[in-house]
Structure 1
C-alpha cells in the first residue's frame, strides 16, 4: 500500500489565458502551459524554504472555458476578439498579431514528494498562506489569476478507491483532460496520414434518411474509438515539443548558459471526461517525459510503448 500526497488547487479563476495552444489549434490552453505553471510554483516553494519539495504530476479539471470569439449575423466562421493594445500615436489600432484568449475556471490536483522535514513543515499553519501569496503573483497559461478556493493538502492510499472517488466527486461538475494518443496511433498504423487521422476523430458526419411518408430523419455521428468504443468529447491538444535542429548556442539567446534548439509543437488527441467517470488518479495525472534520442520533450500520462511523430509534428 502506498500513500499519495496531493495538493488541491480548486476553481482557479483565470482571465485572458492563451487559447492559441499550438500553430494548428485554438481552444483550451496547451498541457505544456499547465505543467509549466506547476514547475514555476515548485521553484518558488523551494526558494521559500522547502528545498526538497517536488511537484511530480498534475491533473487538470476544466469547469468553464469561455473562448473570446465573435460570430456576426450571417458569418460562417468565428472571429477572434482582439484588444489591439497599445494604440498608435494617432490613437488608431496598430497592426498586430491576433492573440486568441479565453477565460477559465480550472482545478488542479498536484502530486508532490518531499523529505520528512519539509512534509512536516507543510502541515504547519503558515504553509497555506505562503502558497496563497505565491499564487496571487503568478501567471497561469499567460492569464491573470483572479481568485481561487483555499488550497488543501490531502493524503490518499492507492488502494482506498472510496477516498479517490470522494476526491474526484468534489471536483464535479468538471471535465478531466486525458490523453488519447492511441486513437491516432491506431489510425496511423492502418496507413492514415497524421493530419487525416486527427481530423477523422474530430469530424461530425451528418446523414439523413427519408421514409415512405416523406419524413426526413437526420443523424449525426463521429468515428468510433478502439474496438467499437464511442469516445467522449475528443479534442486536439498540444502535449510538448519536437526538436528540429541540434542543440547549440544561438546569437542573443535568452539564457547564455543553456543550449538552444528550435522546436515544433507536438499535437495529438485528448478527451475531456467527466470526473465521475475517472476511477484512478493515474488516468488523469500528467508528468514530463524527455526522449533525447528522438528529440522529444513531452507531457504525458504514461510511458508509451511506441511514440510516432511525423514530419508535421503530429503524435
Structure 2
C-alpha cells in the first residue's frame, strides 16, 4: 500500500520564473522537490522523526507569467518590481527577476508515518506550508490537505482514477527525455535536440485556384516545454571558504535541461508516470530530478 498527501490548490505569489539560465516560465522541478525536502525537514523538527517525503507530482491549475508584450513588440518584457527611492530621490539599480503567480496541487508520497498521527500530521502540514516559500514565492492560501491511498495489489486503473480526479482541472508535468534521446541518436547535440522539438515549422500550399494556405506545426504533438531538471558538476569535489555547511563537499555545477510535457491528468496511465524524485549519477557527476519511469 502506497500513501500520499495531497496539498490542493496552493496559491503562490511571485514565484521564481527564471527556471534555468536559458528559460523563463514554469518553476524548475528542482524548486518543487527542494520545497518538499524542506517540508520534510520541518516535519522532522515538529516530532515526525522518521517521516520521508521522497516523490512529488505537480498539477498546475493556473499560471500567470509577469511579462508584457506591446502591440507592435517582437519580444516580451519582464514586469519588474520597483525598489524604494534612495536618499536623493533616485531609483536604485536592480536586477531584473522573472516572476510568476500560479496555483498548483502537489501530490507527495510519504513513508514511515504512524496512522494514529494522521490528523496531527495534516494539521501540522497546513501550518508549516503557510510559512514556507515555494520556488521563492509566497503562499497566499491553501486548502486542507488530504491523505490518499494506492493499493498496488488491486486494479491500477481503479486505484489511479480517484487520485487523478483530485488533480483536475489542471496539467501535470511529466518528463519527455525520450524525445531528446531520440533526436540525439540522429546526430544532433543536446541543445539542438531540445530545439528540434520546440521549433515551429511554417509551410505553405498553393491550390488550383491560386489560393495560398499556410500551416504551422511542431515535430511532435503535445504541450512540450524546456525544463530544468538538475545540475551537472563541472569541477572536482572540494571545500570552499565560508560555505554554509563545512562538512559537505562543494563543487561548481551547471544546469541540466531537457524536455517536459504538460498533460491533462486523465491521460496518465500509471502512478509512477506522475511522480518526480531525486536521482544521483556520480559516475557522470549528475544530480537530477527524474520521473520514476525514466530511471
TM-score (normalised: structure 1)? 0.89
Are 1:136 and 2:130 matched, yes or no?
yes
1:34-78 deviation line (CA, Å, top 9, x unaligned): 000000001111111111110121001111111000112311100
Which residue in the other structure is 1:297 paired with?
287
CA distance in 2, matches of 1:186, 1:89: 58
1:284 aligned to which of 274, 278, 283: 274
2:264 aligned to which of 262, 268, 274: 274
Report matched runs for 1:33-182 at 5 Å.
33-114=31-112, 118-123=113-118, 125-158=119-152, 159-160=154-155, 161-182=157-178
CA distance in 1, matches of 2:174, 2:89: 45
CA distance in 2, matches of 1:91, 1:82: 19
5+ residue gaps, structure 2: none
CA distance in 1, matches of 2:293, 2:225: 21
Task: Say which SS state the counterpart of residue 257 (structure 1) adopts.
Answer: coil
Which residue in the other structure is 2:201 paired with?
205
CA RMSD of aligned residues (A): 1.4
CA distance in 2, matches of 1:151, 1:202: 36
Which residue in the other structure is 1:215 paired with?
211
Q: Is the 8 A contact 1:165 1:279 kept in 2?
A: no
5+ residue gaps, structure 1: 225-230, 306-315
CA distance in 1, matches of 2:244, 2:58: 30
Q: Is the 8 A contact 1:61 1:176 kept in 2?
A: yes
1:123-164 deviation line (CA, Å, top 9, x unaligned): 2x3332211111111000000010111000111212332231
TM-score (normalised: structure 2)? 0.95
Q: Is the 8 A contact 2:66 2:78 kept in 1?
A: yes
CA distance in 1, matches of 2:102, 2:206: 43
CA distance in 2, matches of 1:91, 1:263: 40
CA distance in 2, matches of 1:266, 1:278: 25
CA distance in 2, matches of 1:122, 1:279: 32
Task: Say which SS state the counterpart of residue 134 (structure 1) adopts.
Answer: helix
Which residue in the other structure is 2:246 paired with?
256
Task: Say which SS state the counterpart of residue 35 (structure 1) adopts.
Answer: helix
2:186 aligned to which of 190, 194, 199: 190
Task: Describe the shift of the 1:29–1:140 C-alpha distance in structure 2 as closer, same or farther (beyond 3 A).
Answer: same
